[in-house]
Structure 1
């Protein structure tokens, strides 16, 4: 029997000898590579924290002691050591383990953060609450990557913790020199100098730094750097930190992707994320289409060739958001600010005030963080900034925190902001150019994860809106947002089979609502809106309000995502769960039409 199979909880680790720990570490790495390559997920970060996680669970008694992970994608080893080894066969699949820490899975998971730089705030609050309750026997440990330290929230917490010398919080700085790509900025340079100050061997002694140690200057005790792949050395540093009744930083140096040659040799991202192995089966009949991200990246390079004022920005996600090619072609016009979306948006405002046209590319879920800056720094000043939101809508396997389903609700409140949603690759190219050409204020462009699929041609164009289908009869007007155009066309086909005439319209620019849409809607019995976004504050809600403001009494039924955190699963599984399939939509529409007909046939006084 493999040693790993004998471990059902952290207590089992404490009986292992150093040689056995080495064997367990090797077994964990082999299991990670095999399981994660099959399911897809965050591999590089977890390969790098094997020994660190072993040491943490040998020194601290979880869940009595609290381990907080920033971010939660580096918890695969932690899951294996807390009784969840069998769940890795369905990692990130419906009914299987989450790819992040999950309170529903285990008492050892206390927070579910997948947005970086938050754990130190949690740790500060938890330690303060325990101090108020007189509970000082249980440790609060926050494992924070050097990439997370590029986020402002982390430094707000460090600033406060440094001002509370009697509050015991253990900050394990997992320094592998990168987030998705190499860590940027002055903090990264400072950490490099700390590592160099200890020489080639990482020893648990305060490192020499010509300008002083920043953590110590903030009032925090500092220990390290420590070799994060030496279990005994990490345990020694953690035990010393536990005996310190004050905030302390334990600087642990690890190697992302350690133990897997493919990751170690990949200088681009150290296999931060690996894709799921393809499902065996017959070859696809159609030619694969490019990913939304790659279409955006290619077109932005073409735009920048024509527009020397275009500058591209991102927050530690240069390759994932499609800016790698742009960065290679225009390095002087490419800015990566690290995990600092708020700063990126304020920086974009400054660039626009200086005459540039910034294109800020973020995952839709992370764009939520920059709403205040978009509102007060960009829109208030009518800055021509283009916000590009990748992974908008249901992303599926990354779970609740990564679905891009809140941006429309938040951004529609921003005065002067125009929001576009392309339905296919050609429309993405067109709308990107229209957005960058708009100089009267900010624009936003949102598109999903995955392949673009074949283009969806328009039959006609009316007042800037594309008419995709126009069946005889004016029973239902279907208004679709972006890639939901395909769902709209499928639903129209099913409605036709029931003798219901449907017109499918893609407004292209979904906010503000095209005023001509109300004029068109007045001629239909029902308006149906389809969006891969939350219904609360989404496009459907805006269409309904626009019709009401225009005095149009055509009822509106919006189909979208519920006001809920959606569990992980494939995109198709998640959409089916919430009723965003053609049969489900058509069934609801037929019921609405039948109810309306019955209501008309029955006088209100009968």
Structure 2
């Protein structure tokens, strides 16, 4: 909107093609989408427009454009784009190439900033995607003949678990409110939205507004839960700092797609959230070790909000896990969310693995008699356990599915140098995602690509300890 507002003032001749299909990822919401939908569904206007065009040559049709546009206003109402100084043409059938070519020729040399509205059907050409465009927005492997996605039997996604758990909590606490930015399906909140529509807020692709809205709810005594993908939460960074953290408001951020997201591609990798959140005062960051841990953390934070105050982020991956959602919800319990977990007790070498990565290293830790710590809280650090690790081990490796620069390992290194270097002699190494953008691939492929698979972790630790090879 800020850019559109400046177009006329800059004397621009820009041509904007507005593809309107009634969808972003999920169904569109908000005033602008309603305006476009009115235009889309105005069959009277579209029918009259087509009849006007038939039998008229191009020159006459162009000269009569003012009559047609006046007709549009009369039937539909004032045009938003025209009101801010942009000439608005259309709608045009986006699946009719001849009509598109004609419209493009018409607006190409128009001496003013111009918007051409093109109507399309999301998923056009494939029956199953037309029927369920949200599901087919970004896909993993599926059978093209049946439209059925490949998913191992007996598994659930972290997004499904989040939505199911939050719905259960909300059924017992009417102060819980779920918010998202055009992602009710992707974040697992569709069930919540159906069961508690009055406590579900979807503001469209407006992450900044969603975060500020949540802050307002927190000041009124509600328990807002903001579910946004890690990469999209970056858009609301200013609001997180000023509207939430500065006021130390009780907003829970459910950060989906944290870490490597696989087939969503390089724009969606959630590898920066630890770095950009942990430097914010009052912010706390939790990293559950598995699905049960995620459910327990959600339950604990929301049930005991008076104990765990201020903004809290819980980050979890785009991944599936074997298990049963009903069984997990049936075993939910209050936990100590900011305490790390000793998974394997060894000697000399300790691995501090963040979140769901930790259990990937169980076998190598047992085989080599290494200590393995499941890091459930990135901020604050579990200082009691951390000091014990420094006291009893010669080598400490931090491992995280996030950027090394500004990440968890950097926090541990800083803590060691500041408080423990004079007390304990320990060699510390940080393992994470290096200073580069990660390409497209499956999650399994990308874990190996960045060197976080258990085979590579075992090799680099042995090389470093035995030969002094730096990582």
Same fold (TM over 0.5): yes
**What residue number does 1:467 align with?**
342
Superposed CA RMSD in Å reads: 2.5
Whether 1:217 and 2:90 are equivalent positions in the alignment is no
User: Which deviates further from its counterpart, 506-515 or 545-554?
Assistant: 545-554
The structural deviation recorded for 1:227 is 1.9
**What residue number does 1:488 align with?**
361
**What residue number does 2:450 align with?**
578
Out of 243, 256, 261, the residue aligned to residue 127 of structure 2 is: 261
User: Which deviates further from its counterpart, 561-570 or 319-328?
Assistant: 561-570
- Give structure 2 stretches of 5+ with no counterpart: 51-64, 145-149, 329-334
Structure richer in strand, relative to its length: 2
Alpha-carbon separation, structure 2, partners of 1:463 and 1:477: 19
Taking the TM superposition and a 5 Å limit, the aligned residue runs for 1:370-449 are 370-436=236-302, 437-439=304-306, 440-449=309-318
TM-score (norm: length of structure 1): 0.66
Cα 1:365–1:182 shift into 2, 3 Å: same
The structural deviation recorded for 1:462 is 12
**What residue number does 1:272 align with?**
137
**What residue number does 2:56 align with?**
none
The structural deviation recorded for 1:178 is 1.1
Out of 199, 202, 219, the residue aligned to residue 45 of structure 2 is: 199
The question of whether the paired residues in 1 share the 8 Å contact of 2:350 and 2:372 is answered with: yes
Cα 1:399–1:260 shift into 2, 3 Å: closer
Cα 1:278–1:213 shift into 2, 3 Å: closer
Taking the TM superposition and a 5 Å limit, the aligned residue runs for 1:48-127 are none
Alpha-carbon separation, structure 2, partners of 1:183 and 1:564: 34
Secondary structure in structure 1 of the residue aligned to 2:142: coil
**What residue number does 1:548 align with?**
417
Alpha-carbon separation, structure 1, partners of 2:217 and 2:412: 34
Secondary structure in structure 2 of the residue aligned to 1:397: helix
Alpha-carbon separation, structure 1, partners of 2:264 and 2:136: 16
Secondary structure in structure 2 of the residue aligned to 1:316: coil
The question of whether the paired residues in 2 share the 8 Å contact of 1:518 and 1:547 is answered with: no
Out of 147, 150, 169, the residue aligned to residue 303 of structure 1 is: 169
The structural deviation recorded for 1:226 is 1.5
The question of whether the paired residues in 1 share the 8 Å contact of 2:387 and 2:420 is answered with: no
Whether 1:183 and 2:28 are equivalent positions in the alignment is yes
Whether 1:173 and 2:18 are equivalent positions in the alignment is yes
The structural deviation recorded for 1:287 is 5.5
Deviations 1:45-81 (A, max 9, x none): xxxxxxxxxxxxxxxxxxxxxxxxxxxxxxxxxxxxx
The structural deviation recorded for 1:254 is 1.3
**What residue number does 2:188 align with?**
322
TM-score (norm: length of structure 2): 0.85
Alpha-carbon separation, structure 2, partners of 1:529 and 1:467: 14
Secondary structure in structure 2 of the residue aligned to 1:297: helix
Secondary structure in structure 1 of the residue aligned to 2:341: strand
Out of 238, 242, 249, the residue aligned to residue 108 of structure 2 is: 242
User: Which deviates further from its counterpart, 230-239 or 440-449?
Assistant: 230-239
Cα 1:238–1:489 shift into 2, 3 Å: same
Out of 460, 464, 469, the residue aligned to residue 592 of structure 1 is: 464
User: Which deviates further from its counterpart, 193-202 or 446-455?
Assistant: 193-202
The structural deviation recorded for 1:582 is 1.8
Deviations 1:239-259 (A, max 9, x none): 111111221000111112223
**What residue number does 2:437 align with?**
565
Alpha-carbon separation, structure 1, partners of 2:130 and 2:441: 29
Deviations 1:541-582 (A, max 9, x none): 111112222224422212111111111111122121221122
Alpha-carbon separation, structure 2, partners of 1:394 and 1:560: 12
The question of whether the paired residues in 2 share the 8 Å contact of 1:421 and 1:446 is answered with: yes
Cα 1:547–1:226 shift into 2, 3 Å: same
The question of whether the paired residues in 2 share the 8 Å contact of 1:388 and 1:445 is answered with: yes
The question of whether the paired residues in 2 share the 8 Å contact of 1:492 and 1:503 is answered with: yes
Alpha-carbon separation, structure 2, partners of 1:424 and 1:390: 14
- Give structure 1 stretches of 5+ with no counterpart: 1-154, 598-606
Alpha-carbon separation, structure 1, partners of 2:409 and 2:305: 25
The structural deviation recorded for 1:475 is 0.8
The question of whether the paired residues in 1 share the 8 Å contact of 2:230 and 2:258 is answered with: yes
The question of whether the paired residues in 1 share the 8 Å contact of 2:258 and 2:316 is answered with: yes
Q: How many residues align?
A: 426
